[in-house]
């Protein structure tokens, strides 16, 4: 497999890492899914920090502290809404991962955890999204010493199985 990539099943808000990534929307003002869970666990200061940032375009990322979370930082990124695949979704999802990893590196985060961005409410097909997530991360780790490790936190077993199979393919 790959020494710097881990796959786990569980709740990303419980991760003991330097930075967790949030699958946000472009308002950065919270929502459902993993975004709602992160805001609930971090507390109201997170929403205040996001309000000051004032939003984030699709494919980009912004960083705040993690407040009540174990993680020092939350990196908020906005994945694309799936619209059939011919609206730049692949490139936008890749850039959400790349920009998140760049922010982690620039803040000297040694450990980062990602959810399966865009694959819930935003409807991106899971295996296609997973290939992009892992390929982009492998390429970034090849070129950068930080982050040292990336954990993909899968909320359910079906997602974890897809991640394990794609990582097996791509790091073979
Ligand atoms: N830990 C880890 N993964 C989780 C958790 C959790 N606590 N909760 C959900 N997931 P989604 P998106 C998984 O819908 O598709 C929000 O309302 C979930 O099972 O959270 O990028 C935002 O505000 C799925 O595998 O994010 C946006 O409006 C993955 O996280 C919109 O949803 C992503 O699902 C973003 O949609």
146 CA distance to ligand 1 middle (Å):
25
- The reported pLDDT for the residue numbered 172 is 75
142 CA distance to ligand 1 middle (Å):
27
CA distance 134 to 79: 15
pTM: 0.98
- The reported pLDDT for the residue numbered 106 is 98
Confidence of residue 69 (pLDDT cuts 50, 70, 90): very high
Percent of the chain with pLDDT over 90: 98
Q: What is the pLDDT of residues 129-153, one digit of tens each?
A: 999 999 999 999 999 999 999 999 9
Number of the ligand 1 atom closest to the C-alpha atom of 78: 21
CA distance 154 to 93: 17
35, 90, 106, 169: the catalytic one is 35
CA distance 128 to 45: 35
Token duo for residue 137:
């991360």
Strand-pair partners of 70? none
Q: Which residues, judged by CB distance below 6 Å to any ligand atom, belong to the binding site of ligand 1?
A: 11-13, 23-25, 31-35, 37, 79, 115-122, 153, 155, 159
Average pLDDT, the chain: 98
pLDDT of 1 above 70: no
Sequence-ordered alpha helix ranges (H) in the chain = 33-42, 44-53, 89-106, 126-143, 157-170
Phi, psi of 14 (to 5 degrees): -95, 0
Pick left, alpha or beta for residue 54 (phi over 0 → left; psi -120 to 50 → alpha; otherwise beta): left
CA distance 13 to 170: 27
Q: What is the pLDDT of residues 116-134, one digit of tens each?
A: 999 999 999 999 999 999 9
> Residue 143 catalytic?
no
């Amino acid at each position: 497999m790959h020494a710097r990539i881990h796959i786990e099943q569980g709740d990303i808000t419980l991760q003991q890492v330097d930075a967790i990534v949030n699958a946000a929307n472009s308002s950065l003002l919270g929502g459902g899914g993993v975004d709602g869970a992160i805001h609930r666990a971090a507390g109201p200061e997170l929403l205040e920090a996001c309000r000051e940032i004032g939003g984030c375009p699709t494919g980009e990322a912004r960083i705040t502290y993690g407040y009540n979370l174990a993680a020092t930082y939350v990196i908020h990124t906005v994945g694309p809404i799936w619209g059939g695949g011919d609206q730049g979704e692949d490139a936008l999802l890749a850039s959400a991962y790349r920009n998140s990893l760049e922010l982690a590196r620039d803040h000297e985060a040694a450990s980062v955890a990602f959810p399966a961005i865009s694959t819930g409410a935003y409807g991106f097909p899971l295996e296609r999204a997973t290939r992009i997530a892992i390929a982009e991360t492998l390429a970034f780790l090849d070129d950068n010493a930080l982050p040292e490790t990336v954990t993909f936190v899968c909320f359910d077993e079906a997602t974890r199985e897809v991640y394990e199979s794609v990582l097996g393919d791509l790091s073979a």
